[in-house]
Structure 1
């Protein structure tokens, strides 16, 4: 069967041209007085459509906080966050929950699969909750891309860790979200299974036109991305296109040295 053209399978949601998600002067502050901590300090960044972006930086630099705020999982202290053209600060809790369900995909370090459901049922669960039927052509394409066509009837306990994370990747993609966020998605996997999952995320960008943002501490994982952005002390300090693990590692070493001497 000939695959449908990408434009026929594109996300139906409106976006600013070329931008899947963005933040403007985003700040996140925890506590007050002597316990005040600035996790993010006026961060402005655009995550472009059809691009795989990795977020890196020393431990405690704010990279997971940035992802959680950009994905609508955490509130912001000041500034703005947009998914496409939608300003998250204008949404009430119900609208925000619906937006996350319909327009954002998530892949976390923990697979978060329901043990009583088959792989196929886990993949289509977000659509079932939303009362929507999967687009069979898109579902078949996603399942084929992540190599699960022969494992759809298996429950999580019958799958390896790598296969379970493939299910999680397929689940994130099945609703054709505007953007997929991954928080250390290969952190629980061995190097081979991790490489497979990273390859699937990269292929979702190149073959399906997906937009992916991944938080990682691993230079090898970052090497799969199109662009790496670096945070230090809650601020964006650099970015790199066409990254390689060696270049990313060298940049991370300089950030770690700066943190120890500051």
Structure 2
């Protein structure tokens, strides 16, 4: 059943996991130079939910996302996208999984300058030899507000518009999950807020699953949930974050204050 929030039709929420880690470990180097980037991390990212991953520099947040997205091999434990175990997956199968089931949004927009916005959006499907679902593509384009920019090349678009093209590209193939690594890092505050709003709407209206790494408490406040890492371990997990509640958690992590999970997390109004 479709639910409504502030008069906006929303996609029904699922309770199953789009991605899951169990005792996930990532180790770089050997001997005296060995660094444990992830230390037996267990976490689920649920379908139709927007999750932010935060933590101090070097906490392992980007490593977790890269391992869960199949961009980096894991050292131990389990990483799954849906029912598919990534650990030990052959390169060809891993490439197919990333192409068919995962969407990516990076800080650098990664658009091809010679292609139009529409051509950039459909490029992954073109490479895979698949035709886009026209109705879904139209819906994605409307959701991110690009209907009047589809014939423009990246040089004719603002930074915020270029990142919206990247968001639409990630959504266009209807992936099971989208991983976003600091997607507003190169944007001014207004453009960043627009892109975060579009990600928020893709979850609420299109039923998309989004996992975003960010260092910005305001960006994290757009999420349904924030997972905090420190020294390669999950140290906190709050629902309904606000910028203030996220900032307080980050201060606690930086200052070594005691953890009080979920004590003051309040729902963000939107």
TM-score after normalising by structure 1: 0.92
Residue 165 of structure 2 aligns with which residue? 167
Q: 2-side partners of 1:75 and 1:109: how far apart?
A: 22
Kindly report structure 1 stretches of 4+ aligned residues shifted beyond 2 Å: none
Tell me by how many angstroms 1:258 deviates. Answer: 1.8
Structure with more of its chain in helix, by fraction = 1
Q: 2-side partners of 1:182 and 1:149: how far apart?
A: 23
The total of aligned residue pairs comes to 249
Per-residue displacement from partner, 1:110-133 (whole Å, max 9, x unpaired)?
Answer: 000000000000000000000000
1:32 to 23, 30, 33: 30
2:211 to 210, 213, 216: 213
> Secondary structure of the equivalent of 2:256?
helix
CA, structure 1 residues 240+6, in 2 after alignment: closer, same or farther (shift >3 Å)? closer
Residue 61 of structure 1 aligns with which residue? 59
Q: How does 1:39-188 map to 2 (within 5 A)?
A: 39-188=37-186
Tell me by how many angstroms 1:33 deviates. Answer: 1.1
Q: 2-side partners of 1:137 and 1:234: how far apart?
A: 42
Structure 1: gaps of 5 or more residues: 8-15
CA, structure 1 residues 52+153, in 2 after alignment: closer, same or farther (shift >3 Å)? same
Per-residue displacement from partner, 1:48-79 (whole Å, max 9, x unpaired)?
Answer: 00000000000100000000000000000001
Per-residue displacement from partner, 1:147-175 (whole Å, max 9, x unpaired)?
Answer: 00000000000000000000000000000
Residue 11 of structure 1 aligns with which residue? none
- 2:11 and 2:204 in contact (8 A); partners too: no
> Secondary structure of the equivalent of 1:249?
helix
> Secondary structure of the equivalent of 1:182?
strand
Q: 2-side partners of 1:138 and 1:90: how far apart?
A: 33
Q: 2-side partners of 1:159 and 1:93: how far apart?
A: 35
Q: 2-side partners of 1:65 and 1:152: how far apart?
A: 34
Q: 1-side partners of 2:120 and 2:153: how far apart?
A: 9
Q: 2-side partners of 1:6 and 1:166: how far apart?
A: 21
Tell me by how many angstroms 1:26 deviates. Answer: 0.3
Structure 2: gaps of 5 or more residues: 1-9, 258-270
Q: 2-side partners of 1:29 and 1:249: how far apart?
A: 29
Q: 1-side partners of 2:42 and 2:193: how far apart?
A: 30
2:17 to 8, 16, 19: 19
Q: 1-side partners of 2:216 and 2:179: how far apart?
A: 16
Tell me by how many angstroms 1:6 deviates. Answer: 6.2
Q: How does 1:176-255 map to 2 (within 5 A)?
A: 176-255=174-253
Per-residue displacement from partner, 1:199-247 (whole Å, max 9, x unpaired)?
Answer: 0000000000000000000000000000000000000011110000000
Tell me by how many angstroms 1:90 deviates. Answer: 4.1
